[in-house]
Amino acid sequence: MTTIRNYLNPAEAGLAKSLLEAAGIPAFVADEDSTSSGYGTVLGGVRLQVQDADVERARQILKDQQAGTPLSDDFVPPEPPPPEAAGLETMVCDNKNIFVSVMLALILIFAMIAAFNSRRPAVAASSFSLRAQQEAEERGKRYDELQAAHEQAYEERAKRTDALLASQEQAHERVIKNIEKSEEQQRRYEKILATWEQQQQEYQKYLDGLEKK
């Protein structure tokens, strides 16, 4: 079978087929099932096919019909093909239609799978970004908690240091006071000792005066 014309409109293809059959040329319209299911435009419409031996006559008939030229009076239609050949051609065409339908179904399935797979990375990426955001928020919370704990520990150490310094200053002041007190006592003791020595000298003078008398 040879395709002699393509039609986007199945009705035009059917009209041309009827014209060829009226002229005694067996014709077949391929891809009718695809057109009825909505895929005819994808495959280029429907195809008008005839046997290889009838290609030239069929094209001339269609050309004359398009130009408005009537068939000649001595036109003798050819003998119709035997039923076996017609049945074989019909079987071949049906098989081709089944093959085309299966291929279209596979194309649609692959397209749907590709569309589904193309959506999965986007969903996975969005879930990954959400999980990453949650992890980042958790890390931020843990960092804030650690920072707060460090600040609290620093404040406590600073308080203990201030208290220790204050205690050391108080101890130093007490030592200084004790030293000053000791020095004051030492001066008082030296004064008392000087007074006692002076009294001893006076008493010795008094004894010396008595001996002289």
Examine residue 201 and state whether it is found in any structural domain, yes or no: no
Average pLDDT of the residues of the chain: 78
For residues 98 and 33, what is the distance between their CA atoms, to the nearest angstrom? 9
Which candidate, 3, 12, 26, 1, places its Cα nearest to that of 65?
12
H helices within the chain, ranges in order? 10-22, 32-36, 55-67, 83-212
For residue range 109-127, what is the model confidence (pLDDT) as tens digits?
888 887 776 665 555 556 6
For residue 10, what pLDDT band results from cuts at 50, 70 and 90?
confident
Examine residue 3 and state whether it is found in any structural domain, yes or no: yes
Q: Which two tokens stand for residue 8?
A: 């986007």
Examine residue 105 and state whether it is found in any structural domain, yes or no: no
Contacts of 43 (CB under 8 A, 6+ apart): 31, 34, 100
pLDDT at 25: 92
For residue 96, what pLDDT band results from cuts at 50, 70 and 90?
low
pLDDT at 38: 45
Give this prediction's pTM: 0.32
Examine residue 58 and state whether it is found in any structural domain, yes or no: yes
DSSP state of 186: H
Examine residue 56 and state whether it is found in any structural domain, yes or no: yes
pLDDT at 104: 79
Query: Which residues does residue 6 pair with via DSSP β-bridges, in sequence order?
Result: 47
For residue 68, what pLDDT band results from cuts at 50, 70 and 90?
low
pLDDT at 56: 92
Domain containing 72: what range? Answer: 1-79
For residues 156 and 64, what is the distance between their CA atoms, to the nearest angstrom? 109
Lookup result for tokens 């001893």:
200
Examine residue 34 and state whether it is found in any structural domain, yes or no: yes
Examine residue 72 and state whether it is found in any structural domain, yes or no: yes
Amino acid at 85: A
Examine residue 178 and state whether it is found in any structural domain, yes or no: no
CATH number of the domain within which 61 lies:
3.30.70.1530
pLDDT at 46: 87
For residue range 171-195, what is the model confidence (pLDDT) as tens digits?
888 989 889 888 888 988 899 999 9
pLDDT at 62: 86
Has residue 71 got a pLDDT over 60?
no
28 with 91: CB under 8 angstroms? no
Has residue 84 got a pLDDT over 70?
no
Which candidate, 39, 44, 42, places its Cα nearest to that of 13?
44
pLDDT at 31: 77
pLDDT at 39: 44
CA dihedral 70, 72, 78, 79 (to 10 degrees): 90
Has residue 102 got a pLDDT over 80?
no
For residue 42, what pLDDT band results from cuts at 50, 70 and 90?
very low
Task: Say how many domains are in the chain.
Answer: 1
Q: Which two tokens stand for residue 105?
A: 């179904």
Average pLDDT over residues 143-164: 91
